[in-house]
Amino acid sequence: MTASKPTSPDEIIENLGGCGRFQKYMGFTVHLTKTLISFSVMSTIMLTATPKWWCIDGTSSNNTASCAENDNGTNMCAEKACILNKTKCDTFEFSGVRTAVSEFKLLCDLDYIPSTVMSLQASGMLVGSLVAGQLSDTFGRKRPYFAGIIIVVVFNFIGFMSTNWIMFAVSRFFIGIGAGDFISVQHCILSEFMSAKWRPWITGFPSWPLQVCALALVSWLIKDWRYIQLFCCLLGIPFLFTWFVIPESFRWFVAHDRPADAQKIIERWAKINNKPVPEVGNTVIIEKESTKEMDKKYTFIHLFKSKELTKITLLLAIDWHVYYPVFSLVILLFQMID
More confident residue, 187 or 293: 187
* Best-predicted range by mean pLDDT (91-95, 161-165, 191-195, 272-276): 161-165
List where CATH 1.20.1250.20 sits in the chain: 9-48+113-337
- Asked: is 9-48+113-337 a CATH 3.40.50.1820 domain? The reply is no
113 and 165 Cβ atoms separated by less than 8 Å? yes
Task: List, for residues 139-164, the tens digit of each pLDDT value.
Answer: 889 999 999 999 999 999 999 999 99
| Residue ranges of E strands in 41-119 | 52-55, 83-84, 87-88, 92-95
Task: List, for residues 12-29, the tens digit of each pLDDT value.
Answer: 877 777 777 888 888 899
Please name which of 84, 89, 87 lies closest in space to residue 108, comparing C-alpha atoms: 89
Give pTM, 2 decimals. Answer: 0.78
C-alpha 115/C-alpha 167 separation (Å) is 15
The mean pLDDT value of the chain amounts to 78
236 and 109 Cβ atoms separated by less than 8 Å? no
